[in-house]
DNA sequence: TGGGGTCGTTGTAGCGCTACAATTATCCAG
DNA sequence: CTGGATAATTGTAGCGCTACAACGACCCCA
């Protein structure tokens, strides 16, 4: 061998410090080092101190991989969301992250927006033997369901509370919120109320809102077919498009309920451009109570969902289950109609 | 023993299927099963097929934990962001997620917004021996830096390109963008230009924008002290507050540059409320080109940053490094001034 | 016909840690 | 002073997989 520089491949990582190195340095057995970290209360304080300082001196970072393999426990929770740009899911993730880190758990994030990618994500996530998996919605491919079921991993579905639920769930009854908003619009005197949503094929999780909305209108004796569907990629533009199309179909259109505040704000902007007086001649209502809802002029009437709390609650369910404590398996975080100036 | 039901603790997970079970079922050695999954090309196609079908039949999910321990390789990349609500970081995470999943890597997300929590996050993340760590900004506590350095894990700092850089970085030169925007405002004839930012103590990563802005104004011979700092928690309200305070300090204020489109949109709304004509009497410029920038009326002039590309590029750097291929360690994704109606 | 190459497969030896039972040291009641 | 509890520490075995070198079967060419 001529020179180490001939070696190919990545530069060798510095030989990692192992638990046994710390043990030697501190003059104890490896097992005591393990205990000093994982069950400090059973180690004599002075021994513990000696071990910790040895660890510090050597720059020891425990190898969690080995620990998990040996113990069969993992402090990892996987989260599957369809998107993270969506402000609601971002809040949920924040809630999860906050609550999990309080309990020493880590967050594995997978963004999966199709049945296929969800299956793939579940498959690769399961390889890590997570302590729990947090899913969005309750619509999954049968193969995905089978995989999840037989894994035995605690499951939490979020943002819904309707059957079928795989294991545990955190959310609120979706249709109710949309129905309540529809009834509110009716009570304010609006009579030709449109709905702006996403194409059902892509986002069937939004379908429930539409159904709740429609049945409320039918019960009020109003037409329930002023439905507009936008592609998932449109943002604010969705509101504009909905207004254009629905007003063409029904010139007397006097209110628009949107699946998302983003659409709703887009619709408000469009009213501004066209000089339509809101809420006198036209009402706009949204869903989500995103930050912008309180800032636009007039303020947006919307459904406040509690994404952050959903995240925290989901984290709790997993943590409790991991600790072996029996807990509730359904959490209703509720929702709230926020009445501002737009309706 | 009377009954299994007496056992306390969580219900026992069903005994997991191991690689050796699959091997027995397929009539090969465990090693061949391993090869069939990890290096399919060296296994006879028919053997491989037999193994895969046995695996499917038994519902085998490989134990990645054991695999990592044995191989010393991990397909996990950790990302540390100060916040996920911020639209820019959300884009970066999306880019990372997309690019990583294409290469079979997974994403460990840690939200850390203080030096302390960053240290904690790094510590716990390192226990998992990730293939790389993606950080935000280049300002870290010395202890964090020490820990990161000695871990030998590939590091990518994002959203900056200025020294000191720990290992690799993806971003663009921050001050330049702010300076360019300042020069643009000057070129449009605005002369009393204010700046709305975050309190430096909390968000020193925004400080560079302020410095670039100020030095551009000085070079143009204009006053550079019309600076307003808001608390990090304010959203759209920041723009409103900035206008109120800065106009009180300088009644001739005719333009406002905001560190964030959110502030800028808030300022625009405030102009609407007060009946100030934009851009005739007052200019507003933002930073980020968030979706809303194109939708407000008038459209917001802003700096378009490329968060998604930053994420993808960061992922590439880590993946390339993990594959042992030497790569560049600096990537400049650039930025762009987007001129709309607000300035 | 046999030596050497190739291909596909396999046995062995850990990876670094933790569960659990065994061990020693310590203390107090009788 | 001794038996038996209690506290602190330790040795052993193994978690499920992969690296690596060794192996046998087969083929080709001399």
Give the model's pLDDT for residue A140. 92
CA B166: distance to chain centroid?
17
Are the CB atoms for A158 and A93 separated by under 8 Å?
no
Nucleotide nearest to B43 (CA to C1'): C8
Q: Is the dihedral of CA A130, A135, A138, A144 positive or negative?
A: negative
* Rg, chain B, Cα only: 26
CA distance A340 to A228: 24
| Contact, A47 CB vs strand D, < 7 Å | yes
Q: Does A109 touch chain B (CB under 8 A)?
A: yes
Of A3-17, A100-114, A183-197, B5-19, the one with minimum mean pLDDT is A3-17
- Chain B, 245 to 264: residues with Cβ < 8 Å from chain A are 262
Burial class (CB in 10 A: 0-12, 13-18, 19+), A8: exposed
Please state, in angstroms and rounded to a whole number, the distance separating the CA atoms of residues B36 and B19. 11
Cβ separation A74–B84 shorter than 8 A: no
The answer to whether residue B233 neighbours chain A at the CB level (below 8 Å) is no
Interchain proximity B90–A94, CB inside 8 Å: no
CA–C1' distance B53–C3 (Å)? Answer: 40
Nearest CA distance, A124 vs chain B (angstrom): 8
Mean pLDDT across the stretch A259-285? 90
Quick one: tokens of B322? 């993990």
How many Å apart are A44 CA and D4 C1'?
A: 23
> Minimal Cα–Cα distance from A163 to chain B, Å?
23
Residues of chain B with pLDDT under 70: 1-14, 200-205
Per mean pLDDT, which range of A1-10, A154-163, B120-129 is the poorest? A1-10
Residue nearest C7, CA–C1′ metric: B42
Looking at residue B201, its pLDDT comes to 60
CB < 8 Å to B126, chain A: 61
Please indicate whether residue A138 or residue A100 has the higher confidence score (pLDDT): A100
Q: How confident is the model at residue A173 (pLDDT cuts 50, 70, 90)?
A: confident
The shortest C-alpha distance from A295 to chain B (Å) reads: 7
pLDDT at A12 over 80: no
> Which chain C positions come under 7 Å from a protein C-beta?
7-12, 14-20
Sign of CA dihedral B123, B128, B132, B136: negative
Contact residues, chain B, for A265 at CB < 8 Å: 292, 295
Of the partner residues A87, A106, A324, the one whose CB lies closest to the CB of residue B10: A324
* B272 contacts chain A (CB < 8 A): yes
Interface size A-B, in CB pairs within 8 Å, comes to 157
B15 near A CB under 8 A: no
pLDDT band at A13 (very low <50, low <70, confident <90, very high): low
Query: Which nucleotide lies at the shortest CA–C1' distance from A67?
Result: C17
Nearest CA in chain B to A88: B85
Residue A314 confidence (pLDDT): 97
The reply to whether B23 Cβ lies less than 7 angstroms from strand D is: no
In this complex, the answer to whether residue A42 has its CB under 7 A from any atom of chain C, a nucleic strand, is: no
CB A250 within 8 A of CB A222: no
Whether A16 CB is under 7 Å from strand C: yes
Using one digit for the tens of pLDDT, what is the confidence trace for A77-86?
Answer: 999 999 898 8
Percent composition of chain A: helix, strand, coil (DSSP 3-state, to 5)? 45, 15, 35
B 71-90: CB under 8 A from A: 74, 83-85, 87, 90
Quote the pLDDT of residue A10: 44
- Report pLDDT digits (tens) over B221-241: 999 889 999 887 777 888 989
Report whether B51 contacts B32 (CB < 8 A): yes
CA-closest candidate to residue B130, choices B63, B166, B80 = B80
Residues A129, B64 contacting (CB under 8 angstroms): yes
Of the candidates B134, B166, B165, the residue with the CA atom closest to the CA atom of residue B149: B166
The CA–C1' separation of A20 and D2, in angstroms, is: 39
Per-residue pLDDT for A321 more than 70? yes
- Per-residue burial over A223-240, b if 16 or more Cβ lie within 10 Å, else e, is ebebbbbbebebbbbbbb
How far does the CA of A66 sit from the C1' of D10, in Å?
Answer: 20
pLDDT of residue B175: 73
Which percentage of chain A shows pLDDT scores above 70? Answer: 94
**Nearest residue of B to residue A296 by CA position?**
B269
Report which of A77, A68, A62, A75 is spatially closest to residue A18, judged by C-alpha positions. Answer: A62
CB contact under 8 A, A10 and B321: yes
DSSP 8-state secondary structure symbol assigned to residue A13: P
Give the CA count within 13 Å in the CB-facing half-sphere of A304: 14
Closest residue in A to B292 (Cα–Cα): A236
Least confident window among A136-140, A223-227, B235-239 = B235-239
A151 vs B61, B65, B68: nearest CB:
B61
Q: By mean pLDDT, which of A95-99, A275-279, B254-258 is the weakest?
A: A275-279
Give the residue from chain A lying closest to B120, CA to CA: A101
Is the CB of residue A199 inside 7 Å of nucleic acid strand C?
A: no
More confident residue, A187 or B200: A187
């Amino acid at each position: 061998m001529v020179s180490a520089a001939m070696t190919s491949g990545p530069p060798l990582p510095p030989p990692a410090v192992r638990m046994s190195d710390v043990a030697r340095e501190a003059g104890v057995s490896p097992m005591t080092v393990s205990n000093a970290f994982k069950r400090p209360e059973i180690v004599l304080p002075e021994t513990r101190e000696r071990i910790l300082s040895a660890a510090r001196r050597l720059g020891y970072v425990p190898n969690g991989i080995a620990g998990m393999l040996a113990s069969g426990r993992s402090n990892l929770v996987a989260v599957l969301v369809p998107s993270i740009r969506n402000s609601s899911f971002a809040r949920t993730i924040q809630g999860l992250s906050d609550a999990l880190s309080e309990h020493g758990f880590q967050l594995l994030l997978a963004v999966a927006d199709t049945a296929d990618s969800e299956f793939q994500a579940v498959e690769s996530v399961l390889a890590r033997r997570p302590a729990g998996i947090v899913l969005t919605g309750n619509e999954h491919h049968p193969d995905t369901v089978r995989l999840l079921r037989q894994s035995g991993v605690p499951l939490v579905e979020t943002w819904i509370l309707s059957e079928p639920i795989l294991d545990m769930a955190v959310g609120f009854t979706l249709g109710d919120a949309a129905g309540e908003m529809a009834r509110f619009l009716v009570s304010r005197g609006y009579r030709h109320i449109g709905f702006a949503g996403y194409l059902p094929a892509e986002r069937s999780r939004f379908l429930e809102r539409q159904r709740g909305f429609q049945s409320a209108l039918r019960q009020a004796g109003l037409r329930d077919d002023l439905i507009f569907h936008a592609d998932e990629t449109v943002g604010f533009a969705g509101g504009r498009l909905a207004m254009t199309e629905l007003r063409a179909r029904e010139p007397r259109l006097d209110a628009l309920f949107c699946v998302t505040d983003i659409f709703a704000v887009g619709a408000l902007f469009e009213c501004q451009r066209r000089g339509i007086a809101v809420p006198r001649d036209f009402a706009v209502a949204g869903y989500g109570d995103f930050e912008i809802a309180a800032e636009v002029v007039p303020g947006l009437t919307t459904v406040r969902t509690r994404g952050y709390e959903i995240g925290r609650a989901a984290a709790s369910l997993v943590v409790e289950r991991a600790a072996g404590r029996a807990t509730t398996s359904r959490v209703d975080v509720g929702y709230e109609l926020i009445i501002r100036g737009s309706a």
